[in-house]
Structure 1
Amino acid sequence: MTQRPHHRPMLPGDRAIEAGSASVDPAELVEAADRAATLLVRGAHDSDDDGVAERLLHLADTEGIETIAEVWSSSPGDTLAGCLWRLYLLRSWVYADPVGVAREFEAGRTRAPVALVVAGVADPPGPEELKAMIDQVLRGIAEGEFADVLFRAAAFARVVATGRAGIASVDHHDVTRMLGLAEQLEAAGHQELHHGLA
């Protein structure tokens, strides 16, 4: 008797979703993703509900980063949806490897002092301090200006990219990716500041 290869069991409703998604216009999916991002960012900022910031912060925890990726990962970096994807990806990475992130941040902070000030990390920047910092940045979606959120996240990513560049064991592509993320977030911050992201 041959053994069947192991695969992830389909959840109830998976077939219905697959069947339904085949008939959905990709442009409609993009529009829905953009609309959801707009409601999250603009609606959260205008809300008087103190719990909104916490719910936004833990969205990736409750829904899963994979679910968020399905909705927003293909969105350009100069859109609200694209920015949210990049912010949640950054938080997910910090939580997945806080010790490694702290090591890279420590290596970069002496070379990128201006970015360090903008990032606003406690000194010394240990794993728990970095997790607290990234959470504070994401809470800013509801509690502050979205441009500030983007600039702080960009500064953090730039310090980490600088740190990675100085660590011999880190792959050059990882440095390039983190620097690219920093540049995308910073550019989006300027666009939000001057024209407003959509």
Structure 2
Amino acid sequence: MSSHDSSAPRFRRPASMYPSVAASIPGEPDPATSMDLAHDSARALLDGVFHSSDPEVVRRVVALAADDGLTELAALWSAAPASTLPGALWRLYVLHTWVQRSGDEVARRYRAGSRTVPGLRYLTGFAEPPEVAQVQETMDDILRGAFTGDLGLALRRAGAVATLLAHGTAHLADEDPGEERTRQAERLLRTGEELTEAGRHAEEGRLD
């Protein structure tokens, strides 16, 4: 379904978005319908915030995960490919949530990664050396920027964060070997690559 379809829903209050869409569907939606809903809900959220002058709307979108507002969207967005808008936003929210909940560990991995891939530090926007509050505030700024500023840049910044943290995680795994940390490094690297590619698609107008 095209994002330019004039019949696509537009919502001013993001938290009520998915229930409004789901209520119009009888029974369980088939996979094709679910994917249409994933795209429409992501575009509605993005457009609704971008065209809003209400700072409370922006605040609610940044706090969506913390307020459990993503619960109903999770089933839709988490299944979407990374090269799509819902898939990219899902990965951005997951990274944001982890940073907010594990600030100390994130700062530790960031410090380790910044020694391995120092060039990425400038794109992430993290302070040097990063304090937990600064790391969390920067991720808030990246998420806010996805909805109110340059989506492509926000996704590429998030990709740089995930990639740098992946290198930091791998570095710590070398010092203290463990399969779980190695798997975490692999997942973070994959997320970083996916967000970076989604950022390029957004800049080229191909993220939908």
TM-score by length of 1: 0.83
SS of residue paired to 2:65: helix
Could you tell me which amino acid in structure 1 is paired with residue 46 of structure 2?
V
User: Do residues 54 (structure 1) and 64 (structure 2) align?
Assistant: no
Alpha-carbon separation, structure 2, partners of 1:46 and 1:122: 30
Shift of 1:196: 3.2
User: Do residues 81 (structure 1) and 86 (structure 2) align?
Assistant: yes
SS of residue paired to 1:27: helix
5+ residue gaps, structure 2, are: 1-21
Which residue in the other structure is 2:192 paired with? Answer: 182
Shift of 1:106: 0.7
Alpha-carbon separation, structure 1, partners of 2:206 and 2:145: 16
Alpha-carbon separation, structure 1, partners of 2:111 and 2:75: 33
User: Do residues 106 (structure 1) and 111 (structure 2) align?
Assistant: yes
SS of residue paired to 2:172: coil
Alpha-carbon separation, structure 2, partners of 1:115 and 1:92: 21
% identity of equivalent residues? 33
User: Do residues 35 (structure 1) and 40 (structure 2) align?
Assistant: yes
- Which stretch shifts more, 61-70 or 157-166? 61-70
User: How big is the alpha-carbon RMSD for the aligned residues of Structure 1 and Structure 2?
Assistant: 1.9
Shift of 1:115: 1.1
Which residue in the other structure is 1:167 paired with? Answer: 172
| Shift in alpha-carbon separation, 1:68–1:96, aligned structure 2, 3 A | farther
- Which stretch shifts more, 166-175 or 74-83? 166-175
Alpha-carbon separation, structure 2, partners of 1:193 and 1:50: 25
Shift of 1:21: 7.8
- Quick check: which has more Rg, 1 or 2? 1
TM-score by length of 2: 0.80
Asked if the contact 1:34–1:81 (Cα under 8 Å) also holds between the matched residues in 2, the reply is yes
Which residue in the other structure is 2:49 paired with? Answer: 44
Match of 1:197 among 189, 204, 207: 207
C-alpha offsets along residues 65-99 of structure 1, whole Å, 9 cap, x if unaligned? 54332221000001110011101100111122111
Asked if the contact 2:146–2:155 (Cα under 8 Å) also holds between the matched residues in 1, the reply is no
Q: How many correspondences in the alignment?
A: 180
Which residue in the other structure is 1:122 paired with? Answer: 127
C-alpha offsets along residues 104-145 of structure 1, whole Å, 9 cap, x if unaligned? 011011222221100001222122111111111111023211
SS of residue paired to 1:78: coil
Alpha-carbon separation, structure 2, partners of 1:74 and 1:24: 14
Alpha-carbon separation, structure 1, partners of 2:148 and 2:70: 22
